[in-house]
């Protein structure tokens, strides 16, 4: 499978599409914002005027979209992928959406002889650029194996976690852990700063112990450097926690810590911080504690 379509050229989708071109795949792209399309065309991609047109020219179509309604519209809606996809082709949704929606979309595609994988990712913009994303895939094992070369152009840790929808559930688990970790960093470092500790010294003191984590290493320098340029936006993380709580309700499962952090994200969104990187979760604790997690050593 070498002729692919790619729909959704945002912060994550654009570098992912570029990596597919670099890996030698033929790519037809569609995006509502035309600037991103022009950028990809300049690098060798073809452009299409609709998701349907993307599917008509592709053996497989990748979608990387903000939320469940966007995926439903692009795949099943007017001029959607389903109207152009040929029997035997594959749709790979790499968005982070409600897994129950994923299952419904997959059922509709199956009626047309089209297979589907859900394969959300973790690693943020940096991972998308470097081609080092973690990919959590759900769907038929044979289809997954067929699509493995595509995933290998995009990521390093590629795991099939189960049937269709399993990738989405795995991503919700991932997003809960990441959100709660960032919140823990913000809350705990606020305590340290309030007590008079330098956060940079504190960071180096704890990162080699059990408190060390990828989240600590990725997000603490951003917080200390006051760099909240989005690799993954707060409003998107809020969407993921909303999906986690919604699906947990359907499964009769309480997620009390997730609910608390969701409320923190709602507060940040309401205060105009939804477009900031999710490392800015820490600013909630800074505001209530009247502190700033910023190093005082060498002005850093």
- The first and second tokens of residue 78, run together, are 């007017």
Q: Are 167 and 174 in contact (CB under 8 A)?
A: no
DSSP assigned state of 143:
H
Consecutive H or E run containing 46? strand 46-47
With tokens 């080699």, the residue in question is: 208
Count CA within 13 A, CB hemisphere, residue 176.
19
CA angle 52, 232, 10 (to 5 degrees): 30
Q: Are 122 and 174 in contact (CB under 8 A)?
A: yes
Q: Are 186 and 264 in contact (CB under 8 A)?
A: no
Beta bridge partners of 138: 118, 162
Query: Which is catalytic among the residues 52, 171, 233, 239?
Result: 171
With tokens 């194996």, the residue in question is: 145
171 is catalytic: yes
What span, in angstroms and rounded, lies between the C-alpha atoms of 190 and 196? 10
Q: Are 189 and 164 in contact (CB under 8 A)?
A: no
CA–CA distance from 72 to each of 19, 111, 178, 233 (Å)? 26, 15, 26, 22
- The first and second tokens of residue 275, run together, are 């477009």
Q: Are 74 and 51 in contact (CB under 8 A)?
A: yes
Catalytic sites, residue numbers: 171
């Amino acid at each position: 499978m070498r002729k692919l379509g790619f729909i959704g050229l945002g912060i994550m989708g654009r570098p992912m599409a570029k990596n597919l071109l670099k890996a030698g795949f033929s790519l037809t792209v569609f995006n509502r914002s035309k600037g991103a399309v022009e950028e990809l065309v300049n690098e060798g991609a073809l452009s299409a005027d609709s998701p349907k047109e993307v599917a008509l020219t592709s053996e497989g179509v990748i979608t990387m979209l903000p939320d469940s309604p966007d995926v439903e519209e692009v795949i099943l809606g007017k001029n959607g992928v389903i109207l152009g996809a040929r029997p035997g082709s594959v749709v790979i949704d790499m968005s982070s959406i409600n897994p129950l929606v994923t299952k419904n979309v997959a059922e509709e595609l199956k009626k047309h002889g089209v297979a589907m994988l859900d394969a959300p990712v973790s690693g943020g913009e940096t991972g998308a650029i470097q081609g080092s994303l973690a990919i959590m895939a759900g769907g038929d094992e044979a289809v997954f194996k067929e699509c493995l070369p595509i995933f290998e152009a995009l990521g390093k840790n590629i795991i099939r976690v189960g049937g269709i929808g399993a990738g989405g559930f795995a991503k919700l688990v991932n997003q809960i852990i990441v959100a709660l970790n960032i919140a823990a960093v913000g809350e705990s470092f606020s305590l340290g700063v309030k007590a008079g500790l330098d956060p940079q010294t504190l960071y180096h003191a704890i990162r080699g112990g059990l408190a060390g984590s990828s989240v600590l290493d990725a997000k603490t320098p951003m917080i200390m450097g006051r760099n909240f340029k989005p690799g993954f936006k707060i409003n998107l993380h809020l969407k993921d926690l909303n999906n986690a709580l919604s699906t947990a309700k359907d499964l009769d499962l309480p997620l009390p810590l997730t609910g608390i952090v969701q409320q923190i994200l709602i507060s940040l969104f309401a205060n105009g911080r939804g477009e900031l990187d999710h490392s800015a979760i820490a600013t909630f604790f800074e505001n209530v504690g009247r502190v700033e997690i910023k190093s005082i050593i060498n002005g850093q």
